[in-house]
Amino acid sequence: MTSLTFPPVRIIKTYTVTPRHNPEVPRQLHLSAWDVGMLSTHYIQRGLLFTYPPNLSAQQIIERLRSSLEEALFHFYILSGRLRVVSCEGGGVTCHVEVECEGDGAEFVHAVADEIGVTDVVTMGGQDLPKFLKEFFPLDLAHAVNFDGCTKPLLTVQVTELIGGIFIGCTFNHVIGDGTSFWHFFDAWAEITRCKAAGNEVILSQPPVHDRWFIGGYGEPPIKLPYSSPAEFVVRPLTLLLREKMFHFSSESLAKLKERANQEYRKGIISTFQALSALMWRSITRARCCPPDQKTSCQLIIQNRARLQPPLSPNYFGNSICLISTSTTARELLDNNLGWSSWLAHQIVSNHTDSAIRDQTHKYMEDPFVYNGNMFDKHSILMVGSPWFNMYGCDFGWGKPLAARCSIGNKFDGKISAYPGWEGGGSVDLEVCLLPEYMSALERDEEFLAVVSPPIDLEVLLGTSNKDV
């Protein structure tokens, strides 16, 4: 297969997977402030690539995954529900959204890509990548925001047979949870699959906590939005011709970057990820040729669970994230060194305390709104995801994934998604989305190139041994 052709992915069958009733889950679930803000975002779309296990047929894999998904949905019962818009009584100009947990089920799609191999998925990049990867996620949900029909499933899984392997893609409604919740579910599904294959009783090591967090002082939920219908808050993002590329950073390279940042600013407390965020901010600002007086920002999506006092459970299943930002001019950013910009990133992270989270939530509750991708400043970068997600620990019983990939949802110029590196040890992969001319300039940026590492050799990835199943 060449990078310019896209053989069709054939849908073999679509199933509705419904769990047995979970009496511990309420029939209606109110959304928190962190959830409500996501009502106009795309679904989260992430997937894992595996080689075929040596002693399981494709049909056996499909049946194991369907059966274990049914069990997973019992524990993550909310994912088998549906969103429902409720208008205010009296015909007012407000509405609220809730989740009906009636066990309607998730969607499971079995697909085949006869001409696509695992090497194509690993090596594809550039402008073709989003067009290519969308084939491994349900097409009717690929562009969907969360209100393209409230009857849409909150979770859809597509398992695609490839030459030499399979791709498991999940499309997960962002109103229901953030990246931590997404990978919590994915990892639990893998754990259940392993347990059932071994004939063991399914006892999750990290059962989800479904109770939503609400800040006091604003009455009882639900949170009422100043709209009369979803048409007023669902915003279609602008469609841009983007290039995407995965960049690899070894643990050794990142250790040198962190040491450099701390030496330059002489603080000694700048983290690896803060230094990496500063590097991307500086390099992309140069690539964009921003005017010297142009304001530019480095924005981070940050976890709240452990920062609240008392902290939320690490198994809190929902959204628990905030956007934090630091700004300066292009001149100041580039005239100063990496340590200076890393310190700016460090400050906004260290200042994101319990009181800051509560202040931000209070402000939101006074004037609730729905985020959309068009709000993003085109001169900034946004760092999302986490190199600490357990992506490569998602073992369904046939070994470690070869790669983690993302589809086309929630993409715009300047978005950077962090993944753990395949080899572990603190390595990081970054999926960078930029306009084509900016990506070309980034690939020539000397400071950036001095830190980027060669990708993991394909033979090393394909040499991953599968477990006996």
CA distance 154 to 35: 13
Strand positions, DSSP E, 407-466: 415-420, 428-434
Q: Write down the catalytic residue from 128, 377, 395, 445.
A: 395
CA distance 63 to 387: 31
CA distance 375 to 100: 30
Q: Are 225 and 96 in contact (CB under 8 A)?
A: yes
Stated as kind and residue range, the H or E segment containing 403 is strand 403-406
At 365, the amino acid letter reads M
CA distance 386 to 375: 22
CA distance 44 to 30: 20
Q: Are 112 and 13 in contact (CB under 8 A)?
A: no
CA distance 432 to 442: 10
Residue 259: left (phi > 0), alpha (psi -120 to 50), or beta? alpha
Burial class (CB in 10 A: 0-12, 13-18, 19+), 362: middle
104 tagged catalytic: no
CA distance 404 to 46: 7
CA distance 264 to 136: 44
CA distance 392 to 98: 33
Place of tokens 């419904």: 18
Alpha-helix runs per DSSP H in 76-215: 118-123, 129-133, 139-142, 179-197
Give me the active site residues, please: 395
